[in-house]
Chain A
C-alpha cells in the first residue's frame, strides 16, 4: 500500500502541493484528475522519487521516505523497484529495439537471463496487441504503439504499482482508445494503478477511486461512483467546465 502524509512541495513561486495526505489501496485503480498545474503530476512523480517534496512522508509497504531528510540511494532504488512509471511522451529508449526497451530493466536491474526476459517481453507484447514489433525501433511506430510498449516496459519489472502520468494526452482519439483498452484490461486484472488523466470517460469507466486535485490540494478523495453520481458543487463545476453538453 502507498500512503502519503503531509506532503508539501514549493517551486520558486508556486506552492504545488499543500499538506497532501492520501492513501492508494492495492489492487485498485485510483484516477487523479484536476486542472492543469494543480499538482497531480508532481504528486505522482514524488511517489517514484522523481520529485522531492520539501516535507512529508511516503510509506510504501514497509519502506518509509521522510522527504525532509536526504534520501539514501539504497532506499531510492528500493522504492523505485516497487513501482513502474509510464510517461506522457512514453520516453522509450530510441537507440534500442522494442524488445531491448522491454528487456533492458529486467536484464540490467533484475539480472534476468536473455531467454527469460525475451520470453516475458513477448508475452507482454502479445498482451498489448503488438506481437510482431520486437525487432523494430521506437520511431518506426505510432505514438499509440509506443505508449503501449512503454506500458510493457514498466510491467516487465513486475511492479506492485503502475504509475501513469497523463498516458494519453499526446495521442489522437483513436490511438488513445488503443492505450486505454490496455489499461482497462490491467485494471480488471487487479493491477494496482495510479493514473493521472484528463479523460473523464476513462476515469468513470475504470477508476475504483477518484482523487480530485485543485491548487495543490486534494479536494475530493473517495469512490469513483460517488464522485460522478453525487458530485460536490466544485466537482460539478469542473465537470461542467470540461463538458460540451
Chain B
C-alpha cells in the first residue's frame, strides 16, 4: 500500500500544480475582477441625465441577467455547454480555456453578490463624508469603501475560493488532466479506488487547509483598525 501511495503521489501533485491550482487561481482572479465590476455596476445608481440613465439601466440589466444565469444553472452543465455545446455555433475553445471561462464566470456571479453585500454594509455616512471632501465616486470606492468592504467580504470570498478549488475536479469531465482525472487513471491500472480517491481527497484537503490559513492571516491584516472583534464575550 505504501508503495502505491509513494508511486502515485508525484503524479497527483504534478497534476495538482499543473492544472488544479492554476485553474483555481486564474479563474478566481478573473472571477473576482468580474465580481467587483458587476457589484459596482449594480450598486451605482442611475445618473439623472436621460441618455446616461438609459445606458446605465441597460448595463445593469445585462449584468443582472448574467448573475441570474450563472447562479441558476449547474456548474457542470455550464462547463458542458461552453466546451461541448458552443462548437455547434462555431465557437471552439481548448479544454483548459473553456474551464477557465466557465469557472471565472461562475465564480464572478456568486462573488458579485458577496461583494455587493459587503459594499452595502459600509455605512452611507462613509460615502457622504468622502463626497463632502470632494472625492469622486471611483476614488470613494477605491480608497474609502473597498478597504472597509474587504474585511467583510474575505470570509465569504474564501468560501467561494475553497469551493472553486474542489470544483476544478469537474474539469475531469472535459478531458483536462487535473488531479481527479489522474487519480481515476491510476485507479484504472491498480484497481484500488478506495485508496486512490482517499489520497486525492487528502490532497484537496491540504490545498484547502493552506487557503484557510491564508484567509485567517488576511482577516487579521484587514482588521487591524478594529479595536476588538465584535461578538459575544
Residue positions of A touching B, CB distance < 8 A: 48, 50, 70-71, 73, 77, 80-81, 83-85, 87, 89, 91-96, 104-105, 108-109, 137, 139-140, 150, 153-154, 157
Number of A-B contacts (CB under 8 A): 70
Is B189 part of the contact surface with A, judged by Cβ < 8 Å? no
Is the pair B129, A95 in contact by a Cβ cutoff of 8 Å?
A: no
Q: A94-B148, A104-B143 are in contact. Are A80 and B225 (CB under 8 A)?
A: no
In whole angstroms, how far apart are the Cα atoms of A150 and B126 in the complex?
Answer: 12
For A88, give the chain B residue with the smallest CB separation. Answer: B125
For B52, give the chain A residue with the smallest CB separation. Answer: A70
Is B73 part of the contact surface with A, judged by Cβ < 8 Å? no
Q: A139-B226, A139-B227 are in contact. Are A81 and B129 (CB under 8 A)?
A: no
In whole angstroms, how far apart are the Cα atoms of A102 and B28 in the complex?
Answer: 36
Distance (whole angstroms) from the CB of B187 to the closest CB of chain A: 50
Interface of B is mostly: helix
Is the pair A94, B132 in contact by a Cβ cutoff of 8 Å?
A: no
Is the pair B48, A71 in contact by a Cβ cutoff of 8 Å?
A: yes
In whole angstroms, how far apart are the Cα atoms of A91 and B131 in the complex?
Answer: 12
In whole angstroms, how far apart are the Cα atoms of A157 and B135 in the complex?
Answer: 11
Is the pair B126, A91 in contact by a Cβ cutoff of 8 Å?
A: yes
B residues within 8 A CB of A70?
47-49
In whole angstroms, how far apart are the Cα atoms of A157 and B225 in the complex?
Answer: 24
In whole angstroms, how far apart are the Cα atoms of A137 and B224 in the complex?
Answer: 9
Is the pair B49, A80 in contact by a Cβ cutoff of 8 Å?
A: no
Is the pair B128, A109 in contact by a Cβ cutoff of 8 Å?
A: no
A residues within 8 A CB of B225?
94-96, 137, 139
Q: A77-B136, A139-B227, A157-B134 are in contact. Are A91 and B129 (CB under 8 A)?
A: yes
For B222, give the chain A residue with the smallest CB separation. Answer: A95
A residues within 8 A CB of B125?
87, 89, 91
A residues within 8 A CB of B85?
none
For A137, give the chain B residue with the smallest CB separation. Answer: B225
Is B139 part of the contact surface with A, judged by Cβ < 8 Å? yes
B residues within 8 A CB of A73?
136
Residue positions of B touching A, CB distance < 8 A: 47-49, 123, 125-126, 128-136, 139, 143-144, 147-148, 151, 225-227
B residues within 8 A CB of A48?
132
Distance (whole angstroms) from the CB of B141 to the closest CB of chain A: 12
Is the pair A157, B129 in contact by a Cβ cutoff of 8 Å?
A: no
In whole angstroms, how far apart are the Cα atoms of A96 and B148 in the complex?
Answer: 10
Distance (whole angstroms) from the CB of A241 to the closest CB of chain B: 30
In whole angstroms, how far apart are the Cα atoms of A104 and B131 in the complex?
Answer: 12
A residues within 8 A CB of B148?
94-95
B residues within 8 A CB of A80?
131-134
For A139, give the chain B residue with the smallest CB separation. Answer: B227
Distance (whole angstroms) from the CB of A195 to the closest CB of chain B: 15
| Cβ 8 A contact of A105, one of B48, B126, B128, B134 | B134
Residue of A71, A85, A108 with most chain B CB atoms under a 10 A cut-off: A108
In whole angstroms, how far apart are the Cα atoms of A50 and B130 in the complex?
Answer: 11
For A78, give the chain B residue with the smallest CB separation. Answer: B134
B residues within 8 A CB of A93?
126, 129-130, 144
For B137, give the chain A residue with the smallest CB separation. Answer: A73
Distance (whole angstroms) from the CB of B114 to the closest CB of chain A: 19
For A89, give the chain B residue with the smallest CB separation. Answer: B125
Contacts A80-B133, A94-B226, A104-B133 aside, 19 further interface pairs with beta carbons under 8 A come to A50-B128, A50-B132, A73-B136, A77-B136, A81-B134, A83-B132, A87-B128, A91-B125, A91-B126, A92-B129, A93-B126, A94-B148, A104-B143, A109-B133, A109-B135, A109-B139, A137-B225, A139-B227, A140-B227
A residues within 8 A CB of B226?
94, 139
| Cβ 8 A contact of B134, one of A77, A91, A150 | A77
Is the pair B134, A87 in contact by a Cβ cutoff of 8 Å?
A: no
Distance (whole angstroms) from the CB of B147 to the closest CB of chain A: 5
CB-based closest 5 A-B pairs? A105-B133, A70-B48, A85-B132, A91-B129, A109-B134
B residues within 8 A CB of A81?
134
In whole angstroms, how far apart are the Cα atoms of A140 and B126 in the complex?
Answer: 18
A residues within 8 A CB of B151?
95
